[in-house]
Amino acid sequence: MLAVLCPGQGSQKPGFLTPWLDLTGAESRLRWWSALAGVDLVHLGTAADADEIRDTARTQPLLVAAALLAAEHLPMYDVALTAGHSVGELGAAALAGVLPAETAITLAGVRGREMAAACALEPTSMAAVLGGDPDEVVAAITGHGLYPANRNGSGQIVAAGAVAGLEKLAAEPPTRARVIRLQVAGAFHTPYMAPAEAALATVAAGIIPTDPTRILLSNLDGAAVNHGREILQRLVRQVTAPVRWDLCMTTLADLGVTGVIELPPAGTLAGLVKRELKGAGAPEIVTLNTPDDLPAARDLIARHGMPPSHEPAIAFRVVVAPSAGTFVPTEQLAEGDTVRAGQIIGHVATRQGPAEVTAHDSGVLTEWLAHHDDPVAPGQPLARIGGHA
């Protein structure tokens, strides 16, 4: 299985889109998207300096545009899964078929402007906490009145909140951890962004999403989300909710992803995946930064994507846990059995009683992703159902 990843804020570099403008139609595409985003994407991706593209209002639509522009030159029909980090989720949602590219670009423009406005309301910032025991790190963060805004795996947790609290955290770091202040203008993915979430929700209310055509992971909990309306709600909620990229990587491993392509500006997410998913099952990774990297990316898709066939393509849907508890699959239901939409395939035993797990689509139960008496978290993948697209 192959996954395509869309990076988030902080991955941008001056001039990173310059080589892409040599491709036919690329500049015209960016001019059109610039009109939707309200910023000059051509200038930002080619001539702007680091300070200019650090501006949240400019960076967010730039990153979504870059990912979608590069993906247009890949055989995406052979890609089974997409995911994005923070604003990269908008690009991933477009690649999964939930939103048109134009809608994703427009939402990125609104999101960036509104988050920049929220940053200006009071002095807040972010800091990376590297190392230490994760539970102790989170306790230290919350103890200083801060929020764990990003949990990126591999000993990386980003704290966000008031500048004074970050200064105290840096002065009293958790055991075996170090604190590095980040050059950002505000506390992203915390309640400080509530005005931006409200503004984005107003715009999103007018959008009619569609259900994803491939597996799409959510930053909220690493879950594979099947319904377009729920995905749109999560995209809005993510403005104030922590980014759980660690859980997204856990799902990549659970689903048996063997190949990963990070779209431009690539490197950050590829590095996290490389450090987190090690050993014999580590996926092969391609970082797509310039058109010169396209042959390697296409080759990876050819080797790890769905094989070409004249038969209808197999589309997989992941059934997820409705709540926390212990998973109990339905007796006599085995891999290879046919299930129908709405059929109960198991339940999650909770303190409040059993929560039914149902198949959203008809197809073949191709793989159990959780087994009898396994502890599960809300949104955790439980089973994969395949059917002809």
Give pLDDT tens digits for 306-327.
743 334 444 567 788 877 889 9
Catalytic residues: 86, 189
The edge-to-edge listing of strands for the beta sheet with 353-358 is 353-358, 344-350, 325-329, 374-376
Contact 152, 146 (CB under 8 A): no
The answer for residues whose C-beta is within 8 angstroms of residue 145's C-beta and 6 or more apart is 161, 162, 165
pLDDT at 309: 39
Structure tokens at 261: 């392509």
C-beta atoms surrounding 53 within 10 Å: 20
pLDDT at 158: 95
The answer for residues whose C-beta is within 8 angstroms of residue 82's C-beta and 6 or more apart is 3, 4, 5, 6, 92, 93, 95, 96, 214, 215, 216, 217
- DSSP per-residue codes, 159-221: EEEEHHHHHHHHHSPPTTEEEEE---SS-TTSGGGHHHHHHHHHHHTT------SSEEB-TTT
Amino acid sitting at position 13: K
pLDDT at 206: 94
pLDDT at 169: 96
Amino acid sitting at position 359: A
Q: In terms of Cα–Cα distance, which of 61, 26, 82 is closest to 291?
A: 26
From 1.10.357.10, 3.60.60.10, 2.40.50.100, 2.60.40.2470, which CATH number describes the 314-388 domain? 2.40.50.100
Structure tokens at 179: 């604190």
Give pLDDT tens digits for 177-211.
999 988 787 999 999 999 999 999 999 999 999 99
Strand 156-162 versus strand 147-153 pairing type: antiparallel
What's the Cα-to-Cα distance from 364 to each of 227, 238, 286, 387, rounded to whole Å? 19, 33, 31, 6
The fold of 121-181 is Alpha-Beta Plaits (3.30.70)
Nearest 5°: the CA angle 367, 370, 373 is 140
| pLDDT tens for the 389 residues of the chain, in order | 999 999 999 899 999 999 999 999 999 999 999 999 999 999 999 999 999 999 999 999 999 999 999 999 999 988 999 999 999 999 999 999 999 999 999 999 999 999 999 999 999 999 999 999 999 999 999 999 999 999 998 789 999 999 999 999 999 999 999 999 887 879 999 999 999 999 999 999 999 999 998 999 999 989 888 889 999 999 999 999 999 999 999 999 988 899 999 999 999 999 999 999 988 889 999 999 999 999 999 999 999 987 433 344 445 677 888 778 899 999 989 999 999 988 999 999 988 889 899 887 788 998 899 899 999 876 778 888 876 44
Which residues in the chain belong to E strands, given as ranges? 2-6, 81-84, 124-131, 147-153, 156-162, 177-181, 215-216, 259-262, 284-287, 314-320, 325-329, 338-339, 344-350, 353-358, 363-368, 374-376, 381-388
pLDDT at 311: 41
The domains of the chain are located at 2-118+191-304, 121-181, 314-388
Structure tokens at 46: 């080619």
Domain 2-118+191-304 has CATH 3.40.366.10: yes
pLDDT at 322: 77
